[in-house]
Structure 1
Amino acid sequence: MDKFIVDEDLQVILQNEEDGASTPIKGGITAQDFEVISTYTKGWLTFAYLRDRQGIWWFNARKNKASLFSRDTEAFRVIDEDYCCDSQYVYLEDQAVPDSDPDSFRLLPDTPYFAQDQRYLYVKSSTHFHLFEDIDTNSVIAHHDYCTDKDHLFHLSSSLRYANGDKDEVRAWLQEHHLDVPGWWHNHYARSAEGATQITGNWYETESSIFYKTEWGGTAHREAKAVFNLIRGADRSTFEPLDEQFARDREHVYFQWRTVKGADPNTFQSLGGPFGRDRNHVYYNGYRVDGADAQHFETYAGTEHLGLSKDQQHVYRTEVVRTSQLFGHPDDVLQMIKGADAATFELITPSGSWAVDVDRVYLWGKPNKHIDRASFTHLFDADPQSWAMDKNGLYNANGNRTVKGVNGSTFVMLNRYWGKDGHVVFSFVTGGVYKAGDAATFQVTDDIGGAEDALFRYTVESGAVRKKKR
């Protein structure tokens, strides 16, 4: 166990009680009015909130350093091992949450994951912390890793996701514990989708509300169920679907059931899939793409899930990153591919498995530094396989793998079933190297997988290679 003390030289140090070892704390904290406010441990490390005459400090054990983050010593209070606040901000450790409201901040009961103030839902797991704004904070209820407001249910896994298809999982609990709170779990919920009629595609309406229909929980043995997701705030009288993903009314643009913040409904147009733009900005998955040139932006049809697109200056792909800094929740956001040359960038395959620019090869939109651009050759696609080669080796885009044991400088594709280099025979059907095959005499004999060498004849049957002695 570690403890904080002031030594005879008036330095604040961290002392290990077991061996007596002492370590001066970096960062500038002083002995004047020094006080330990609270400590907690993670593993064998001790973290702490400290105070001196200057203000409130956070001690980060990983860096052995204290950082001054608040001078409001009168109002400062520790809420738990992650949160604290003063009169102005809620803090995550020593990081102020912008626009937070310490007066309304509270930890939610029945969960270790959620807290809230009047603006945000605070979400923390063992690996991430983020804020979530797309929720009605006046009606938030938490239950373990689920969180709900009066209209939507959310579930926390790697990030917080809409989980309206799971409402039956928590309906009984909500009816038992929160029957006094108006919400979707009541039989007479005002925004129920009961009796909804189709406008077009996945867009539905009742007399009072607009919904976007999705399917949930389908498997090979179980039919998916229809889920009607309320579009909050939609104006029914002016609501207009633009395609299967986007809609608008006189005030807002919607991506499925989420509002596209800041989008201009008067100039907005869909670009296919999750892409859209208005007069000034590009949007992907409902989020603005900062820095994209709306007038010269173009997408690659068939690669919408990868987000492959470009303008005159940059190439883009989707990544799961924070939707805003500092604490935005993670989601699929269109990101600039650093170093990509927009003028020469082109897809080699319609699926987006392979692309190139003047200097680099891209595998599913990510630069691959191991593949040689000058000698790169795409061979063929046989879904889900996508084969290519360079002077160094043979590559399969399915699984992002390099084929071991093949010499790219001597490899020759014989047909869509077979290839060989100077030493081994390779089967595109099985993705395996046949070291027992005689590369020197190996040749194809037909266009349906037949081949032979000095010792064997080969056939392809139901995705497997058969061989017989000659």
Structure 2
Amino acid sequence: MINRLSKLFAIILLMSVPSLMLAQYYSYSKRNGQVYYDGKVIHGADSHSFRDLGYGYGKDRNHVYRYGTILEYVDPSSFKVDRRFSSDNRPSHGRPDGGYHNCERPGYYVSTFDVFYNGEKIPGASGSSFVILKEGYAKDAFNVYWMGKKISGASTSSFVCLGNGYAKDAFNAYWEGRKINGASTSSFKVTRGFYAEDAFDVYFKGEKLK
């Protein structure tokens, strides 16, 4: 009986070792005065001030890092990962190509002053007024965004998401951030799936059906 339990314990331990190694391998660590990510040393990182912020981000007194790479022109003194916006946006094993799992909030991160999408700073975005909507849409006090890209001419005060990639403001309707030419915004609504309609036409994935 003891031998059987010992063998079972050994099997469980062997099965758990790869996952434990994986979890350690794809994270920040500090050894012998150096900082590592993905098992590789981050040259120039200050181990004394370095902090793992989670979700692939870290910082020291000099720089902010994402997946072990310096984010240029980002102030480490004010940078933070806001868990309200990132709790469901964990990249697979912390890899740059892992993707994001929550389609409602795909990859937005907000610091005190700046906003990032998939690690890239969104030029001009206001961190203090930034609001994540859904399906890749977001807005601040000045602009509306889809997947981190500014939607030219969109009205932030009247902008609403309709679901299934559709959205509208007081002037235009949109599908996946692209303006739907000729759509009547006052009567525009999503019907089912990727179909939408206004008082005059029917649309599929933002294209008017003839």
1:268 aligns with 2:53: no
SS in 2 for 1:419: strand
Q: Deviations over 1:153-174 (max 9, x none)?
A: xxxxxxxxxxxxxxxxxxxxxx
- Quick check: which one's helix share is greater? 2
Q: 1:337 maps to which residue?
A: 122
Deviation at 1:244, TM superposition (A): 3.1
Q: 1:412 maps to which residue?
A: 189
Bigger Cα Rg: 1
Q: 1:367 maps to which residue?
A: 150
1:118-267 alignment, distance < 5 Å: 198=18, 200-202=20-22, 241=24, 244-267=26-49
Q: 2:66 maps to which residue?
A: 284
- Structure 2 vs 1, CA of residues 416 and 375 (structure 1 numbering), >3 Å: closer, same or farther? farther
For 1:294 and 1:286, how far apart are their aligned partners in 2?
A: 18
Deviation at 1:298, TM superposition (A): 1.9
- Structure 2 vs 1, CA of residues 355 and 410 (structure 1 numbering), >3 Å: closer, same or farther? same
Q: Contact 1:292–1:311 (CA<8 Å) still a contact in 2?
A: no
Q: Which amino acid aligns with 2:144?
A: V
Deviation at 1:370, TM superposition (A): 3.1
Deviation at 1:249, TM superposition (A): 1.4
Q: Deviations over 1:365-416 (max 9, x none)?
A: 12222322232111124xxxx221223333222xx53334422243133455
TM-score of the two chains, using structure 1 as the length reference: 0.33
1:380 aligns with 2:155: no
Deviation at 1:418, TM superposition (A): 4.8
Q: Contact 1:414–1:420 (CA<8 Å) still a contact in 2?
A: yes
Q: 1:391 maps to which residue?
A: 170
Q: Which amino acid aligns with 2:162?
A: L
Greater relative contact order structure (CA < 8 Å, 6+ sep): 2
Q: Deviations over 1:98-140 (max 9, x none)?
A: xxxxxxxxxxxxxxxxxxxxxxxxxxxxxxxxxxxxxxxxxxx
SS in 2 for 1:200: helix
Q: Deviations over 1:241-268 (max 9, x none)?
A: 3x73323312222221432233233443
Q: Contact 1:245–1:273 (CA<8 Å) still a contact in 2?
A: no
Q: Which amino acid aligns with 2:156?
A: R
Q: 1:308 maps to which residue?
A: 108
Q: 1:401 maps to which residue?
A: 178
The sequence identity of aligned pairs, in percent, is 24
For 2:153 and 2:41, how far apart are their aligned partners in 1?
A: 41
Q: Contact 2:160–2:168 (CA<8 Å) still a contact in 1?
A: yes
Q: Which amino acid aligns with 1:200?
A: L
Q: Deviations over 1:415-464 (max 9, x none)?
A: 5565321211235xx655344xxxxxxxxxxxxxxxxxxxxxxxxxxxxx
Q: RMSD between aligned alpha carbons?
A: 3.1
For 2:107 and 2:194, how far apart are their aligned partners in 1?
A: 32
User: How many pairs does the alignment contain?
Assistant: 176
For 1:262 and 1:406, how far apart are their aligned partners in 2?
A: 54
**Which region of structure 1 is more displaced relative to structure 2, 260-269 or 363-372?**
260-269
TM-score of the two chains, using structure 2 as the length reference: 0.66
Give structure 2 stretches of 5+ with no counterpart.
Answer: 1-16, 92-98, 100-105
For 1:258 and 1:307, how far apart are their aligned partners in 2?
A: 24
Q: Which amino acid aligns with 1:376?
A: F
SS in 2 for 1:276: strand
Q: Contact 1:282–1:294 (CA<8 Å) still a contact in 2?
A: no
SS in 1 for 2:157: coil
Q: Which amino acid aligns with 1:341?
A: S
- Structure 2 vs 1, CA of residues 420 and 307 (structure 1 numbering), >3 Å: closer, same or farther? closer
Deviation at 1:364, TM superposition (A): 0.8
- Quick check: which one's strand share is greater? 1
For 2:187 and 2:167, how far apart are their aligned partners in 1?
A: 14
Q: Contact 2:163–2:190 (CA<8 Å) still a contact in 1?
A: no
Q: Which amino acid aligns with 2:122?
A: I
SS in 1 for 2:74: coil
Deviation at 1:341, TM superposition (A): 1.3
For 1:316 and 1:275, how far apart are their aligned partners in 2?
A: 12
